[in-house]
Chain A
Amino acid sequence: MTSSLRLRAGLVSIVLLAAFLGIWHLATRSTAPVTTMSPEYARLMGLTATQGKSAMPGPLDVGAKLWEHLRRPFYDNGPNDKGLGIQLAYSIARVGTGYLLAVLVAIPLGFLIGMSPLLSKALDPFIQVLKPISPLAWMPLALYTIKDSSISAIFVIFICSIWPMLLNTVFGVASVRKEWINVARTLEVGTLRRAFTVILPAAAPTILTGMRISIGIAWLVIVAAEMLVGGTGIGYFVWNEWNNLSITNVIIAILLIGIVGMLLDQILARFTRMVTFPE
């Protein structure tokens, strides 16, 4: 039953994809009337004006270009022409660094706040104010103080991924079942051992859920941040190709951003499953 459902769902997915590609192909195939112009002028104009070709690339153009990129993912022809692999690697490295720094701060801090009702109440107004700030709003402040665009981007990732992890850790730690704590207390388990053997495993699913939300937000933000700071990364690539008027490359970048985001989410989902316990 389950396998047949999966099979049918897969079939429907393929049909939907084929339909989408078909419509896309048909929609971009149409030709507009061609204006006659002098050959010199025509060389300055795009294919849309000279041959009436749609400005929006079709799926075949995108496919051909994607194949080109996939064959040479790591070429480097100078600052404005690097392989997609290199650009993605820059973005992933920035997200990874900012995110890991956020993990290192958010989880211990969340533990402390969650275990202390006083700290929890005292820090709550700050967290509530800081949490809804768009991470990009920090960018000018980061650029001014850090004076390095690449580190500023990492800071922006750090600041945007810290809140979901912090709040989930606080919540997870604060809502560990009283009876499990009481078990540890009757066994005279010390505070540190209790934190690692009872509170951490009990709160782990909630913490991992926060980490999963964070990685999603971090990947959303990196594209925008790299558009601002420039230089390298998939976000910069998108903006650079927009300036080059290469819609094909923009579409390819969009596709890859989606795939990498999905993979990051799947990795965290797997970790979450590993620490989840049935009750």
Chain B
Amino acid sequence: MTDKFISIEGIGKRYSGAGGAATTVFENLWLSMARGEFACVIGHSGCGKTTVLNILAGLDAPSEGAVIVDGQAISGTSLDRAVIFQSHALLPWRTVLGNVAYAVSSKWRSWDRAKVRAHAQEFIDLVGLTGSEHKRPSELSGGMKQRVGIARALSITPKMMLMDEPFSALDALTRGTLQDEVRRICLETGQTAFMITHDVDEAIYLADKIFLMTNGPGAVLAEVVENPLPRDRGRIDLHRHPLYYALRNHIVDFLVTRSKTFTTETPGHDPRNVPVVQIGKPGLTVAAASDEPRQTWMPGSSPGLSA
């Protein structure tokens, strides 16, 4: 826990409801990510995942707490943090090239047309859309639209990518191909990525670290699960890895039962020192996610490993 590229420090989000009663979606949320890490957040709808991502993107402001990226507290959006939207959010009146070029010319205002086009083309080629540059989004399939979204996000060479269920609207085959592409691109470019997903297998395939969130309102980050699978894992033999099912069962068990009961069953849960689950390690090591070494073991929060 030395390199904290991204550090979310005690953020909370409240909405003032009718009659002055405030609804707390989540509060006192702490999490950190290292540079080049791929993290997935899993949790049920309403636990505030999207809010966390929007706060990270700068599209939303936390009611309390701060987010520090690369040593600086963020305020508002930034070209350093690219967002891939769930609904791709392409501008329908622009072509594929136009959409990517819009992002490129927003980052490098002084570039001339030819340079912007060449740079945009590079990223269109990267996501495999060569030949479709002059099509409008309405002429593209769902998967191709999301590829444009990825090209647009990558084209501004961000420090990190934020993805809000980017593949949830796609069919299974397209989703698989795009997951491969995203994994390849993130590994090649060393991107730091933060992704929200509902898909346990997607998280296992893509993530180095999986954040498990309990149900909202009043959601907490329950555990950080480290992915024990080798970094050069492939989609085909993923499920043959001896730890695959242990990992999968742990996450599914959390989603099915423990996400509801976690808060009541674990009264001593310290949101600043979220237990890190390392599946397959003897004795199930639980280390502190925070770099403050005052607590390394919390008996009350020992997560039961079912597999």
Interface residues of A (CB under 8 A from B): 177, 179-180, 182-183, 185-189, 197-198, 201-202, 275, 277-279
Interface size of B by CB at 8 A reads: 24
A187 to B77, CA, bound (A): 8
- In the bound complex, residues from chain A placing their C-beta under 8 Å from that of B82 are 186
- In the bound complex, residues from chain B placing their C-beta under 8 Å from that of A189 are 106
Q: Does B176 contact A (CB under 8 A)?
A: no
Contact pick for B89, options A180, A188, A197, A201, CB 8 Å: A180
The 12 sampled A-B contact pairs (Cβ below 8 Å) are: A179-B85, A182-B83, A185-B58, A186-B57, A186-B59, A187-B106, A187-B107, A187-B156, A188-B106, A277-B93, A278-B92, A279-B137
- In the bound complex, residues from chain A placing their C-beta under 8 Å from that of B102 are 187, 197
A201 in contact with B91 (CB, 8 Å): yes
Closest 7 A-B residue pairs measured CB to CB?
A: A179-B89, A187-B106, A278-B138, A277-B93, A277-B92, A201-B93, A185-B77
Minimum CB–CB distance from B143 to chain A (whole Å) comes to 17
Write out, one digit per residue, whether chain B residues 97-128 have a CB within 8 A of any chain A CB (1) or not (0): 00000110011000000000000000000000
Chain B residue at minimum C-beta to C-beta distance from A204: B93
A201 to B102, CA, bound (A): 14
Minimum CB–CB distance from A208 to chain B (whole Å) comes to 13
Minimum CB–CB distance from A197 to chain B (whole Å) comes to 7
A202 to B93, CA, bound (A): 8
B107 in contact with A183 (CB, 8 Å): no
Known: A186-B58, A187-B106. 11 other contacts (CB 8 A): A179-B89, A182-B85, A185-B59, A185-B77, A186-B77, A186-B82, A186-B83, A187-B107, A201-B91, A202-B93, A277-B138
- In the bound complex, residues from chain A placing their C-beta under 8 Å from that of B81 are 186
- In the bound complex, residues from chain B placing their C-beta under 8 Å from that of A201 are 91, 93
A182 to B91, CA, bound (A): 11
Q: Does B278 contact A (CB under 8 A)?
A: no
B59 in contact with A179 (CB, 8 Å): no
A188 in contact with B87 (CB, 8 Å): no
Q: What is the predominant secondary structure among interface residues of chain A facing chain B?
A: helix
- In the bound complex, residues from chain B placing their C-beta under 8 Å from that of A183 are 83, 85, 89, 91
- In the bound complex, residues from chain B placing their C-beta under 8 Å from that of A185 are 58-59, 76-77
- In the bound complex, residues from chain B placing their C-beta under 8 Å from that of A197 are 102
A197 to B137, CA, bound (A): 17
A188 in contact with B138 (CB, 8 Å): no
In the complex with contacts A182-B83, A277-B136, A187-B91 CB distance below 8 A: no
Which one of A182, A186, A189, A277 has the greatest number of beta carbons of chain B within 10 Å? A186
B85 in contact with A188 (CB, 8 Å): no
Contact pick for B91, options A180, A186, A188, A278, CB 8 Å: A180
Chain B residue at minimum C-beta to C-beta distance from A205: B93
Minimum CB–CB distance from A109 to chain B (whole Å) comes to 24
A187 to B109, CA, bound (A): 11
Chain B residue at minimum C-beta to C-beta distance from A179: B89
A198 in contact with B138 (CB, 8 Å): no
Chain B residue at minimum C-beta to C-beta distance from A185: B77
Q: Does B28 contact A (CB under 8 A)?
A: no
Q: Does B78 contact A (CB under 8 A)?
A: yes
Q: Does B79 contact A (CB under 8 A)?
A: yes
Minimum CB–CB distance from A98 to chain B (whole Å) comes to 30
B87 in contact with A179 (CB, 8 Å): yes
A188 to B78, CA, bound (A): 6
A182 in contact with B89 (CB, 8 Å): yes
- In the bound complex, residues from chain B placing their C-beta under 8 Å from that of A275 are 93
Which one of A177, A183, A188, A197 has the greatest number of beta carbons of chain B within 10 Å? A183
Chain B residue at minimum C-beta to C-beta distance from A187: B106
Chain A residue at minimum C-beta to C-beta distance from B139: A278
